[in-house]
Each structure stands twice: as structure tokens, then as C-alpha cells.
Chain A
Amino acid sequence: MRNGSVKAFALSAMCLCLLAGCGQEDRGQTASIYAMDTVMDLTAYGEGAGEAVDAAVAEIDRLDKLLSAQGEGRDVDGQDIRRVNASTSATVSQETAALLRETLALCQETGGALDVTIYPAMEAWGFYSGEYRVPSPEELSQLEALVNYQAVEVADDSIVTHGDQVKLDLGAVGKGYAADQVARLWKDMGVTSGLLNLGGNVCCVGPKPDGSDWTVGIRDPEDENGVLCQLSGRDMAVVTSGAYQRNFERDGVRYHHILDPRTCAPARSGLASVTIVASSGFLADGLSTAVYVMGLDSAAEFWRQRQDFDMILYTDDHQLYLTSGLAGRVTPAEGLEPQVLDG
């Protein structure tokens, strides 16, 4: 090849390399799994991302077994909540005992709007089996007597339930707790950037790989392809509860899965969607359910007393509210004017 041709070839190759390079970005390592009764996407970026994702999958699998109230077969080895639900007392791992202790405290702090003993009511409505039904008023009043978190005691590593029909369901906090555990694991492994989406239960680990904030869209309960608003931030858990997530229709009435522990029936609080933003996934998860049950006024009062989280509320009559800690971080959808709740 003549010198000139070499020059031309070299220049062309450089152009191609530059063009190819322009399209490169760190797409991260991703796993999509089915666990805790939902679809989960786990993405880690940077060096060691592959190992981090594998470790996260293993950790979620472990927690799914440990904390699930559902399961098949008689083998309940490593399944603490199933073991507790099979009798009135059981020895459990220190981890389960600590988590349940923390969850019971949250049940108390929310005045019972969150109740870890909701299992019999969820079962009666068919939300576990998918064989949906509407319990009679008599059945609901019987269920009310069974749903009472105060009937559960945790002493060291043993859990006692008072009454053989009192059963636990950690579904309202399990995914949030799992997100916290994975985020901690990733930080220990040196992952500085990652995104967990555990069935719409989002946890942003660090900033994005380019150093900017993550953006999280809050789903519009009336348009599955639309959002109410976008929220930006890092190192945060964002959990949304809404009636649209799991529901069924009977005789023209739609019944959803967020049950009010006081009535054991689907909560009708005037809220269509509740999003909690907090540094703890556990707190965000548990409070999203509790705040949904509380309704706007009680939720606003509850937030003013605590202020260790932020929230975005969307009412049945299409009003958007957000707490002052989120001001400047939320971009509402066109046509929505959020009202800011002050402390």
C-alpha cells in the first residue's frame, strides 16, 4: 500500500472509531427476576457490576424464602414467616425477629393503618390465590377480630402469636427491606451506582454512572403509560401504592388489594396513589400502604409529626400534593399543579 493510501485508511479508521465511540455508554449489568410475587429489575454499574447483580439475586431469593407467607410443600426450612403461621409460636432467625420488631413498631406508630396481621383478610378476598371473592359483612366482622398486630409478640428470637388464626404477612415491608439489604450489599462490594426496581418499588443507589441524579416517574393511576410527575434524586427509596396495582371487578364494583385493617375491606380513603420517598426502603414501603389507608388529612398530620420522609399524594379527584422536602425535585405532568404541604 502506498503511503498516501495508508494515511487515508488511517483517517477513515479514526473516523469510524470516533463514531462508534460516540454511541458507547455504560449500560450496566442487569438481571430480571420474579420474586416476592412480582417482577424485579436489578441494574448495577461499574467494575464488579456482574458479581454485584448475582449477589443481589441470591440475597433477594434468600429473603423471599425467609419472609414469604406463601409457599408450596411442607418443607419450611429457612422460611420463618411460614413457620410462624403454621403454629402459634416459633423460633426464628435474629434477622426476622429484628425486622418484625421494627414492623410492629411501625404498625403502632401508624395507629394500625399498617397491620402485619392482615393475612386472614387478604386470604379471604382471594388476593393470594387469585380466586377473588367478596366476603360477606359477617365474615368481615369476624376477620376484624383476627387482624390485630398487638396479638404478636417478639422476644429475643422467638415470635408468639396469640390465637391460632392470627397470621403474619410482611408483604407491605418485605420488598422495601430487600431493597435496603441489596443497597447495603452493593455499597460493601464497592458499587457506587445502581438501580433496583422491585415491582415498582424503586431504590436508587448512589447517583447515575455519569454523576447526575436519577429520575423516577410516578405512574398515573388512570393511564398506565403516563406519569403524574417525575422525581429526581440519589440514594433514595421511592415506593408507590395504588388501587390500580392489583384489583378485580364483581357486579360492576372494582375491589383492590390495599385493605384497611380496621374494616378488612379495600381502603376507600380518597387517595388514588401514594408515593413515599425516604432513605429507607423499609420505611417507604410500609408507609406507602399506611398513608394510603389514612387518607389525605391524617397523612398530612402524620407527616408533620415525623418529617423523616416525604410524600406525593394524588387524590381520587385529581389533586396532586407533595411535601415541602420535595420542592424543586418534582416535575409535574402537564396540567397538574401540585399543592405543597408545609411542616
Chain B
Amino acid sequence: MDRRLFTARELLCLAVLALVLVAWAVWPKSSGAAVVVQRGGGEIGRYPLDVPARVEVSGANGFSLTVVVQDGAVHVENSTCPDLICQRHAPISRSDQAIICLPGQVSISVEGGERRGPDAYAG
């Protein structure tokens, strides 16, 4: 009686499965990361980080922002707010970064992206 655990066919089947798993693990994937725009704490828009986009965002107090997604990062190209801190902010691409416009009560963050910074930022 054949006492081998696996037949040649079963081994072939396992090898194919293993190959698929390895390919899945190493294959370059879409980042899956999304730009999340919130106003007053509520989400008002969500856009793929890897798809170029230009979005007009209406903030609180009548202020508006032009949010641009390009080259896997997001930044505020233009804002009508008085202090322009959001407009001066460098582009962000990681989940531990955010651009916040306090006068417009708008926050722009990245969800599902790379995270390599600390657990939180003070300041």
C-alpha cells in the first residue's frame, strides 16, 4: 500500500498554491491609500492617492481650498483662508501626516498609506 502523505498530483497542486501566495505577497500593488477630506470632523470626500485629481473643497466660514492629488501625494494648491498655513504645508503621502486648515475647519489626511512616524505628533 502506498503510504506517502501526498501524491505527485497533490504536491503539484500545493506547489502551484505556494507560487500564487508568493506572487501575491511580492507583486507590486496599488497602494490602496486614500486621501480623506473632512470638514468640521465629518468626511466630505475620499479620493485614491494614486490617481491625480484636483478637488474644490468648501470649508467653514466661507473659505474654500483647492486640493491637488498628484505623484502619490496631496497638497493644498490654493486657499482663501486668512492665514494660508494649509497652503504653505508641504505635500503629504503618509498616514501619519495631515494638513489642517483651522479657519476653514478642513483636515486632509491619508488613510491606508505608509506609516513610519511616531504614534502621534504634538504641536
Contact = CB atoms under 8 A, between A and B. Distances in A.
A and B interact: yes
Interface of A: 4-5, 7-8, 11-12, 15-16, 19, 31-35, 37-40, 130-132, 195, 197, 200-202, 204, 208, 214-219, 221, 223-225, 227, 230, 238-242, 244-248, 273, 275
A311 B58 CA distance: 39
Nearest to B92: A225
B121 A219 contact: yes
Interface in B95-123: 97-98, 100, 102-103, 105, 107, 117-123
Given A4-B9, A216-B119, 17 more contacts: A4-B6, A4-B7, A8-B14, A16-B21, A19-B25, A34-B41, A131-B82, A200-B123, A201-B122, A204-B119, A214-B120, A215-B118, A219-B122, A230-B118, A238-B122, A246-B83, A248-B82
Given A12-B17, A225-B97, A246-B102, A239 B122 contact: yes
Tell me the interface secondary structure of chain A in the complex.
strand
Contacts of A275: 122-123
Nearest to A220: B123
A217 B92 contact: no
Which size bracket describes the interface of B in this complex?
Answer: 35 or more
Nearest to B9: A4
Given A4-B10, A11-B14, A35 B83 contact: no
B39, B40, B117, B122 pick with most chain A CB within 10 angstroms:
B122
B70 interface: no
B102 A32 contact: no
Interface of B: 5-7, 9-10, 13-14, 17-18, 21, 25, 38-41, 61, 81-83, 85, 88-90, 92, 97-98, 100, 102-103, 105, 107, 117-123
